[in-house]
Structure 1
Amino acid sequence: MKRIEAVILDWAGTTVDFGSFAPTQIFIEAFKSVFDIEITLAQARIPMGLGKWQHIEALGKLPEVDAVWNAKFGRSMTREDIDKIYAAFMPLQIAKVVDFAAPIAGVTDTIAALRQQNIKIGSCSGYPRVVMEKLVPAAQALGYQPDYWVASDDLLAGGRPGPWMALQNVIALGIGSVSACVKVDDAVPGVEEGRNAGMWSVGLSISGNEFGKTWETYQSMSDEEIGSLKQQASEKLFAAGAHYVIDTLADLPSVIDCINERLVKGERP
């Protein structure tokens, strides 16, 4: 393969929902409403990118959350506890996700530019199918529609950081080699997903979970504040195995050009 044939994009924080706020705030509300346990926004962001049941499980294993849980209940979180929080989380998430369906600035232009190069647009998400069935048409109405999407609970093998959702895109889109694919994500498990699938993996340092600011807040920040948070995000994404880290999806075409040059030289991810 001498050129990129497909990009596989995450959703929240990558193509829609600048700062990835739709899922994070709902985790906080679900923990509070079910067990009267308060978690912080920073804690809610730590496992971002995992499937939502697994995300709740990971939150319960955070030392500080586990300590609060033991202090309140005399035990650590159980599967039954996770199920109860998940049951509360899902209706809230389904109702809220459409409010965060607008494409991030530059996304629609980037998608159009990639399609002019005959690059197919795949996607996958940490959201389960019932959430994606609300998000996908809402995003389409606002100008973003990938060629294919897969949800975190669609595959028996599981979700991130495993390679399966990314590889399902390869199958569905008919791509001949994983080395002709670029996986783009704003969170660590999604970057690892791309690497585990044998693809070029690109992290986003500003638009998503690791930066963690709304578009309005970002616009009002100083260059120094932006630089500091961007560096922290970039370090985490590179540590997860990203081949490249860019600010937002608007910067992806230049990375595609670089990767195409490397493919011509015989390089692979």
Structure 2
Amino acid sequence: MKKIEAVIFDWAGTTVDFGSFAPTQIFVDAFKRAYDFEITLAESRGPMGMGKIDHIRTLLQDPKIKARWFAQFGVEPTEKEVKEIYDTFMPLQIEAVVNFAEPLDGVIELMASLRENGIKIGSCSGYPTPVMAALVPAAEGYGYKPDCVVASDEIAVGSRPGPWMALKNVIELGVMNVAHCIKVDDAVAGMHEGINAGMWTVGISVSGNEFGATYDEYRAMTQAEVDERKKVAVEKLTKAGAHYVIDTIADLPTVILDIERRLNSGERP
């Protein structure tokens, strides 16, 4: 019988921080504080999943944002502005991230179930090491502790959409076959990461970046509102290559069973 060896999870929007608000709001705040320049929360979500300096770099190359920047400053943004916004972002993010460390509903139970079934638990994030150094122990205080954590700045060649953070998990966890791994993420860049790593790739719709609502906002929505937002999220994640899209990781056990069925019938991701 072929079994899943490891599941590699994203953090914000996947295992913690319903709606992925810790990073998105801080991008808005950092642009405002560094240059008195405004971006919207929706714009800040666009490159989610990338390493944070790459995220800022990508935002500044967005045609609409770049046009507003030129209108305000008379020049196009350069690498100097990227670094200054990033330097502003980092302390704000480190301070804020501990407030978003509580695991989402079902996370602790899922981790216990994975371990009972001999499945290793990896993780990686678009957050750099100093942010993860604050987030990881805060999450552990709530009972969530993956077997491996990889931060975006640990990889010299870059982070998502490349496969390298996921593959570093494979090495650190001692996984024998990447086709027996599942990458779980709420962002488009995370789907690309999983596909590029040769893994089964599962998108998270409702709790994630593409849905973009807090848990309280989600609970207050009509079913029609939920369905509409979810449809958009599912379409984005599927287009990015997700083999499956689920509402939250509480729905993952049935996906694992189906992937193992497919592995045993000779399929590969």
Band of TM-score, shorter chain? over 0.9
Give 1:3 deviation, angstroms: 1.2
Q: For 2:152, what is the secondary structure of its paired residue?
A: coil
Task: Output aligned runs, 1:174-253, within 5 Å.
Answer: 174-253=174-253
Deviations 1:11-66 (A, max 9, x none): 00000000000000000001001111111000000010000000001111111111
Task: Output aligned runs, 1:2-151, within 5 Å.
Answer: 2-151=2-151
The amino acid that maps onto 2:156 is L
Give 1:169 deviation, angstroms: 0.4
Deviations 1:205-240 (A, max 9, x none): 100100000011111111110000001000000000
Q: Distance in 1 between matches of 2:97 and 2:15?
A: 13
Give 1:77 deviation, angstroms: 1.1
The amino acid that maps onto 1:101 is A
Q: Distance in 2 between matches of 1:211 and 1:110?
A: 22
Off by >4 Å, runs of 4+ in structure 1: none
The amino acid that maps onto 1:116 is E
Deviations 1:106-138 (A, max 9, x none): 111111111111100000000000000000000
Provide the identity percentage: 61
TM-score by length of 1: 0.99
Deviations 1:162-187 (A, max 9, x none): 00000000000000000010000000
Q: For 1:245, what is the secondary structure of its paired residue?
A: strand
The amino acid that maps onto 1:84 is E
**Cα RMSD (Å) of the superposition?**
0.7
Counterpart position of 1:267: 267
Q: For 1:17, what is the secondary structure of its paired residue?
A: coil
User: How many residue pairs align between the two structures?
Assistant: 269
Q: For 1:33, what is the secondary structure of its paired residue?
A: helix
Unpaired runs of at least 5, structure 1: none
TM-score by length of 2: 0.99
Q: For 2:153, what is the secondary structure of its paired residue?
A: coil
Q: For 1:213, what is the secondary structure of its paired residue?
A: coil
Give 1:72 deviation, angstroms: 1.3
Matched, 1:162 2:144: no
Unpaired runs of at least 5, structure 2: none
Q: Distance in 1 between matches of 2:256 and 2:12?
A: 21
Q: Distance in 1 between matches of 2:192 and 2:155?
A: 18
